[in-house]
Amino acid sequence: MAKRDFYEVLGVPKNASDEEIKKAYRKLAMKHHPDRNQGDAGKDAEAKFKEAKEAYEMLSDAQKRAAYDQYGHAGVDPNMRGPGGAGAEGFGGFAEAFGDIFGDIFGQGRGGAGRGGRQVYRGSDLSYAMEITLEEAAHGKDAQIRIPTWENCDTCHGSGAKPGTSPKACGTCHGAGVVQMRQGFFSVQQTCPHCHGSGKIIADPCTSCHGQGRLKKQKTLEVKIPAGIDDGMRIRSAGNGEPGTNGGPPGDLYIEIRLKKHDIFERDGDDLHCSVPISFTTAALGGEIEVPTLAGKAAIDIPEGTQAGKQFRLRGKGIKGVRSSYPGDLYCHVTIETPVKLTEHQRKLLKELEESIKKGGGKHSPTGDTWTDRLKSFFGA
């Protein structure tokens, strides 16, 4: 089958600039690359990928493009000895363009160094779990933590080599830290497998740091815990993570906050909840009781006939969150205590009270009649 016109394949006019040709090829290469097209569709995509590649090989080279413009396919046929035929050079443009899209297709970046330079890598982030009390979370605090860190070895002064010796440039990558793998027109850069990207070989390593040039130690950091911080929040300490490789920037330290269980309060966002036990006589007769808050004590008026589970709200007695304009509320949940270990006299009094209440009918039991009606409905009575 006759070959299509190279300009038609790339979808560009004959007066297209080199940049337009390169851009068109990159778009087609990413669309039809075999790794992106599997199954039956992959066969057609592979053919289109090869067709676009061949068109770009010819049009990206000035000598070949001129021969193609003058003689057509015959001018660049490797089986013919025309101006752009067998033995013609100049595939650098293709290799460069495909190198640009290679990272886009396979997700490989250029790394942190320029071409021919050693690859630098950012250090890993570290995580530190800090447990604090509810009071500390509400009011904030200044704390000190100890974290692992790396420092230059005092014996070799960071070189990694035994005193009196020095590292040598890697013979594989010649100190670049990366090597080029070529196959045909393709060129792939990868970390040197011998020096692991450092660009140097240590024949006689330091006995203190075993050739690493650094030792793991502990350092103390001052950490400011902001008022209102909540469980699960993180504080970022920039640059206090693992050090980078080959001069790369260090990672960050993330301090994860964990709240200790409180004896009285439970936190729900900016609100606080607590259970308040009262006697059944206070619930029946009413009265004033004291309840705790993070700022001290507060008073609540218990109305006569308060039932179990009644909730009282104290506005502004919660916590002011780190992103809040106003503090939350405190919710006090009433629980009624049943007296235990009664004396005979107390038992007698309670029985007399029960008989008196029964004589009064349903007015003394606000939920009793409702409960009885539900039971009758359940049993079909």
- What's the topology of domain 6-106? Helix Hairpins (1.10.287)
Cβ distance 71 to 81 under 8 Å? no
One-character DSSP codes across 128-159: EEEEE-HHHHHH-EEEEEEEEEEEE-TTTTTS
Q: Per-residue pLDDT for 269 more than 50? A: yes
Quote the percentage of the chain above a pLDDT of 90.
34
Residue predicted with more confidence, 184 or 87: 184
Domain with CATH 1.10.287.110 in the chain: 6-106
Mean pLDDT of 271-290: 93
C-alpha atoms less than 13 angstroms from C-alpha of 100 in its C-beta half-sphere: 12
User: How far is the CA of 73 from the CAs of 3, 20, 66, in angstroms?
Assistant: 8, 21, 11
CA distance 238 to 252: 5
Local confidence band at 261 (pLDDT 50, 70, 90 cut-offs): very high
* Residue carrying the six token digits 């490797």: 78
Judge contact between 155 and 207, C-beta under 8 A. yes
The answer to whether residue 78 scores a pLDDT higher than 70 is no
- For 266-338, the fitting CATH number among 2.60.260.20, 1.25.10.10, 3.40.50.280, 3.40.50.2300 is 2.60.260.20
pLDDT band at 141, cuts 50/70/90?
very high
CB 55 within 8 A of CB 32: no
pLDDT (0 to 100) of residue 91: 40
Task: Please return the burial class of 339, using the count of CB atoms within 10 Å of its CB with bins 0-12, 13-18 and 19+.
Answer: exposed
Which pLDDT value is given to residue 185? 59
User: Distance between CA atoms of 210 and 148, rounded to whole angstroms?
Assistant: 18
Of residues 301 and 106, more confidently modeled: 301
User: In the chain, where does the domain assigned CATH 2.60.260.20 lie?
Assistant: 126-167+202-259, 266-338
d(CA 374, CA 301): 32
Residues 84 and 21: their CA atoms lie apart, in Å, by 19
**pLDDT beyond 90 at 46:** no
Q: Is the pLDDT of residue 85 over 80?
A: no
88: pLDDT strictly greater than 50: no
Name residue 100's amino acid.
D
Match 């001069």 to its residue by tokens: 247
Per-residue pLDDT, 90: 39
pTM (two decimals): 0.57
pLDDT at site 345: 95
**Cβ 55 vs Cβ 70: under 8 Å:** no
User: Which of 120-129, 165-174, 197-206, 339-348 has the highest mean predicted lDDT (pLDDT)?
Assistant: 339-348
Q: Do 97 and 26 touch, CB atoms closer than 8 A?
A: yes
The burial of 170, by beta-carbon neighbours within 10 Å (0-12 exposed, 13-18 middle, 19 or more buried), is given as buried
Mean pLDDT of the chain: 81
pLDDT of amino acid 297: 92
**CA 317 → CA 150, 271, 289, 296, 313, distances in Å?**
45, 8, 16, 10, 9
Q: Where residue 366 falls among pLDDT bands split at 50, 70, 90?
A: low
Rounded (to 5) percent helix, strand, coil in the chain: 30, 25, 45
Which has more confidence, 150 or 53? 53
- Position 102 scores a pLDDT of 43
Architecture in CATH for domain 126-167+202-259: Sandwich (2.60)
Examine the pLDDT at 73 and tell me if it is beyond 90: no
